[in-house]
Chain A
Amino acid sequence: MSVVETGKQEKLLQRKEALERRVTGKETMVQSDRIFGWGLKAGGLLIMALFLVVLLVCIVTAWPSIRKFGFSFLWSQAWNPSRGIFGGLTYIIGTFWVTGIALVISIPVAIFSALFLSDYAPKWMSGIVSTLMEMLAGIPSIVFGAFGITFMVPILRDHLEPFLANTLGTRWDFFNGDALGYGVLAAGIVVGFMIVPLVATVTRDSLLMVPQEMVEASYALGATKAETLFFVKLKAVIPGIVGSVILGFGRAVGETMAVLLLIGNQASIPETIQDVGYTISSLLANTFTYAVIDPLYAAAEVELGLILLMMTLVVNTLGRKLLMRLMGGRLAGSVGGG
């Protein structure tokens, strides 16, 4: 046999094998599909790469501070750029103050609103009211902040804060203060309103997943509408509520511009709800551009950013897991605020 004929036979054999593979289902992809598949995989790789870039940039640039201060960074209050001593406790606690107030305000408002959206709103207006709620989520953080300065701060300063000090403040120091208008209360209230739409829509979505049989059974036992909603339906969606609150927490800790404008930006740990303070995000937005001149100063600020990032990663993974199980993969996201 000549060389040419051998080559021909081998080719025929290869084609036969390829055909057999396709017919038996062992391989159904044509060559172009394989290239296409690899090309698509690159799209997935880009997401992984972006995530790695975020993590790496934060860890690498924060490293000098992590190495120098170790865990003491988390519980030291010293923040002295000129002497090169940094501890983030003031800002971490400030962040929790604002987030805490925001959650206390937003949870009841959001849960009641979700019940209204899912069960009380008449059919013809349910689309409109849901749209209103969702449009609220689209208002930029900076507009909330500007609104807070021009509208809310005067009200807080002249009415709400003196009122709190004169009533609750006489018994509990927690509510006392100088009635400046600016401070953790102002920032917390605004952030609270900013996360209501997120918590409310996720809670509404889980309320809509409650099986109708459960509701009917409750009515059949003679329960009123409110009893059914509050004692049966709400109980059934507790995981969903917890998940939505977790997502709300993740959104609130990273909130920047509105907080920066309203919290007063003073590096002290607030003792009452009328005190001024500082959060991680507002500190970074305010001072990072000065900090970059000194590598250690910059590293300390980035470490605060890294702590913030870790909090949101943990919290969003948890919230996502809870809601995934509840809603079978369809869940609302949590976009970091501006």
Chain B
Amino acid sequence: MDRSRSSLSFARQFRNTVLGSLTFLFFGVAVAPLLLIVYVAWDSGKSVLDWSFLTTLPTGFPVGSEGGILNGIVGSLILVFLASALSVPVGVWAGMYLWQEGKSPVAHLVRLLSDLLLGVPSVVWGIVGFYVFSTSTGYGLHWGFSALAGGLTLGFIMIPIVTRVTEQALREVPLSYIEGAFALGASRWQTLRGVALPGAMAGIGTGILLGVLNVLGQTAPLVFTNYYNTGIPNSLVGSQGAVGDLAMQIFIYVHEPSKAMHVKAMAAALVLLMIVLVIDLGIRLLTWGSRKIASRV
């Protein structure tokens, strides 16, 4: 294009330059929040962030004005574990089904429903979790506001993520491998277990981490099913079974009308942000070759 540029009218050259620079400018505007949020969280949270902040329970009045966020870190781990325990088997199972029966009308319906579940708002998941697990009246499991109720609700959210990524990862296993297994006389089950699943393991692992990322940041469903605990509970169900959670902790601290609590909230946000960004970056580095998976959910 360089040769023809000299013969272009000034107006067209000008427009060409302006529009090109605008795309760069708007890209900068789009990613500015990422850098700005990390900077603001670091800048206002760093004064309270030290080792004891990560390893002590919150104390003082209002609760959290002294001490740290150990309850939130432990609680988030418990919730993520419970969510994965439900969603990994179910999601991988459903993903295998979609891979196996990819083109049948029923599979199309299941794929549509799974995709729609991906878009269900988190407050609706909260309502569902409340009436399935937490409610104390009517039908439901009557577990109260508890870690199990919260964790399984988050598991619901994770299921469609794991399903989609599992199917995609299985599809990326070369067809010739599958055909080779069949040609050797393997049954479908043997083919899936021995050839397809091992080949897709990296992709499925990525999918699980993506689900975990999503679940770590979820707050709204926990308002309906687990709420918050300033300590670490002995049980996972019942009225004493709620756990703390980093996201809920930020929410509660930010609601306190005091500057000191906002600083604590930003420090907790920095911790959550670091966990999320490190997992995220890890996934992307691990799957740099096949970027498709990581960018798809």
Residues of A within 8 A of B (CB): 29-30, 32-33, 36-37, 40-44, 46-48, 50-51, 53-54, 57-58, 61, 108-110, 112-113, 115-117, 119-121, 127, 129-136, 138-147, 149-151, 193, 196-197, 200-201, 219, 222, 224-227, 229-230, 247, 250-251, 253-257, 261, 280-281, 284-285, 288-289, 292, 302, 305, 308-309, 312-313, 315-317, 320, 330, 332-338
Contacts and interface: CB of A to CB of B under 8 A. Distances in A.
B10 interface: no
Contacts of A333: 115, 118-119, 161, 164, 296-297
A281 B44 contact: no
Contact of B265 (A141, A146, A222, A292): A146
A190 B262 CA distance: 19
Interface in B138-160: 156-157, 159-160
A226 B93 contact: no
Given A116-B27, A257-B251, A313-B116, A226 B20 contact: yes
A230 B272 CA distance: 40
A146 B118 contact: no
A29 B188 CA distance: 9
A150 B264 CA distance: 12
Given A46-B93, A51-B116, A113-B23, A305 B124 contact: yes
Interface in B189-230: 189, 192, 213-214, 216-221, 223-224, 227
Given A41-B97, A140-B217, A250 B30 contact: no
Contacts of A58: 124, 127-128
Contacts of B192: 36
Nearest to A31: B187
A37 B106 CA distance: 14
Q: Give chain B's interface secondary structure class.
A: helix
Q: Give chain A's interface secondary structure class.
A: helix
B122 A336 contact: yes
B100 interface: yes
Contacts of A135: 34, 277, 280-281, 284
B184 interface: no
Contacts of B4: 222
B227 to A, nearest CB: 8
A307 B171 CA distance: 36
Contacts of B296: 330, 332-333
Nearest to B8: A224
A83 B142 CA distance: 29
Nearest to B157: A336
Interface stretch (B52-60, B77-85, B129-137): B129-137
A308 B36 contact: no
B93 A336 contact: no
A201 B30 CA distance: 12
A194 to B, nearest CB: 8
Nearest to B262: A150
B48 interface: no
B178 interface: no
Nearest 5 A-B pairs (CB), nearest first? A140-B217, A254-B121, A112-B26, A43-B93, A43-B97
B181 interface: no
A336 B219 CA distance: 12
B123 interface: yes
Given A147-B41, A200-B30, A230 B119 contact: no
Contact of B119 (A36, A117, A334): A334
A112 B20 CA distance: 9
A72 to B, nearest CB: 22
B93 A42 contact: yes
A200 B164 CA distance: 21
B128 A53 contact: yes
B90 A46 contact: yes
Pick from B97, B109, B192, B281 the residue with the most CB of A within 10 Å: B97
Given A116-B23, A338-B247, A140 B219 contact: yes
24 contacts: A40-B93, A44-B97, A44-B101, A57-B128, A116-B26, A129-B31, A132-B31, A140-B216, A142-B251, A144-B37, A146-B250, A147-B40, A225-B16, A288-B223, A292-B130, A309-B121, A312-B116, A315-B119, A316-B115, A316-B116, A316-B118, A317-B116, A320-B115, A333-B164
Given A44-B110, A46-B90, A143-B217, A250 B23 contact: no
Pick from A57, A108, A150, A312 the residue with the most CB of B within 10 Å: A150
Contacts of A219: 1
B113 interface: yes
A50 B19 contact: no
B29 interface: yes
Contacts of A224: 1, 5, 8, 12-13, 15-16
Contact of B220 (A47, A112, A281, A315): A281
Pick from A47, A256, A317 the residue with the most CB of B within 10 Å: A47
B24 to A, nearest CB: 6
Given A44-B107, A257-B251, 14 more contacts: A30-B187, A43-B93, A51-B117, A54-B128, A57-B128, A109-B29, A136-B31, A141-B220, A147-B41, A224-B5, A224-B15, A312-B121, A335-B214, A338-B221
